[in-house]
Amino acid sequence: MPQVKIIAKNFMDMVSSLPAIKLGMLYRNQFICEAILRSLPPLAKKYVLQMLYIDAPVTSKSLQEWVLADGSSKHKVAIDRLIQLRVFEVIDRKKETTYKLNPTFQTSLRKHLICGGTLPREPMPPNVIARLPTPEELDAYALEQWECFLLQLISPGQSERSSSFSSSMMRIFQRGLLHQRDKEAPRLTESGFQFLLMDTNAQLWYIIREYITNSEEQGVDQADLIAFLLELSFHTAGEAYNLDTLTDDQAVMIKDLADLGLVKLQKGRKDSWFIPTKLATNLSVSLADTASRKEGFVVVETNFRMYSYSTSKLHCELLRLFSRVEYQLPNLIVGAMTKESLYNAFENGITADQIVTFLQQNAHPRVAEKVPSVPENVTDQIRLWESDLKRVETTPSHFYDEFPSRDVFEAASDFARMHSGILWEDAKKMRMVVKAEIHMLMREHLRGQK
């Protein structure tokens, strides 16, 4: 999905902003080099792999010969990205610019492709650990943790149990997603609704990006957290790894990741371990934007009624943002989009296009392949109801009347026109409405006319 690509790019922007020394230390890790390679645009990957065993600098002209005539724009994007991540070293000469792979990155990637990487920790032997969850149980755990976190993030009252994230950490994650006025309950922002529309991996990268961005406030090195996260994605889902192999900072982070559902923590008689879920092991895959389309759950009828085949409380809360939920069975949510429910959504900053996109992206498999997957009369009406609210545009203004003379009125009118501030006037009755932004200037002008 496009959102995954955008969030992954933003995360890699964070990686590229690291000092050269820290980035060089990251590139000593073979798994991080593979994750960086996955994140690159297709043409950039081609350049890296073709130059992997070329030790001499490659001229700019030679690189351009590897591209078709119509690929100049993609070529520029690829080169810019490689330079930004310091995968390419630029050697400027008087005659021509040349490029060379970062030696540390090149050496690590070569070893990884030839020998395969070795993680700093091996799975624990079966005779030491207790019963591990089955793949199905682990998936269910990850989904439950993630949905609980999102409910706590968006609508705390709807979560059956409170997230163990601290209040300060929750505020970090809520930044930009919620807004609150005085003593009113927090409301979802337009960015917040867009966040909910994202693919799960994109949501995770957004949260992780916020987590890492604020890590320095806690005295934690960003490079270490980035390295641990990218490395974690290469662990095997469902395997147990000893917690004693983690550093103090990693041990703190692993507990936060458990709240998100990326890992499950277990404890035996002597040892404790963490078990990565698919949310964690798919992180580096999502950097390449290869996440498959999630299965939808909503069927929309031409009469605006919706049938959502889901057991998720989160799905129910999402639908409440723009529809009226009439009743909820164990595996079915029935509701309807009404003029009032949609007006309420529009007033909260949710747009018609976002609602339509949400319904299309989450269409049930039985209707997802239809064209259109959401009835046209429904999508058209949603947009029409949104346009109804935009027919009247409010502008802060001031009303003037009871002018002492015709000359003063005309002078004031000319002054307002000169400043492009007049909205309405009645010359016969000597009345006018001007924009609030020129009110103070008008007052000073009128004082001078007296």
Q: What average pLDDT values come out for the chain (450 residues) when binned by 10 residues?
A: 50 81 89 88 92 91 86 89 92 82 94 81 81 90 88 66 63 74 70 75 81 77 86 89 89 88 88 91 67 75 95 88 91 94 86 89 90 94 89 82 88 88 90 89 76
Instruction: Please count the structural domains in the chain.
Output: 4
Structural domain ending residue among the three candidates 337, 356, 389: 389
Residues 262 and 379 in one domain: no
d(CA 179, CA 187): 5
Q: 168 and 250: one domain?
A: yes
Q: Measured in whole angstroms, how far is the alpha carbon of residue 281 from the centre of its chain?
A: 19
> Which residue(s) pair with 398 in the sheet?
434
pLDDT at 205: 81
Which is nearest to 133 in space by CA: 294, 274, 285, 251?
274
User: Model pTM?
Assistant: 0.71
Residue 4 lies in a domain: no
Q: Considering the domain boundaries, does residue 7 fall inside one? A: no
Last residue of a domain, one of 286, 310, 327: 286
Q: Is residue 334 part of a domain?
A: yes
Same domain, yes or no: 98 and 175 = no
Range of the domain at 97: 15-115
pLDDT at 156: 59
Residue 32 lies in a domain: yes
Q: Give the whole-angstrom CA distance, residue 284 versus residue 233.
A: 6
What integer pLDDT is reported at residue 157 of this predicted model? 53
Flag whether 123 is in a domain: no
Q: Is residue 417 located within the same domain as residue 376?
A: no
The side-by-side arrangement of strands in the sheet containing 263-267 is: 241-242, 272-276, 263-267
- Same domain for 271 and 335? no
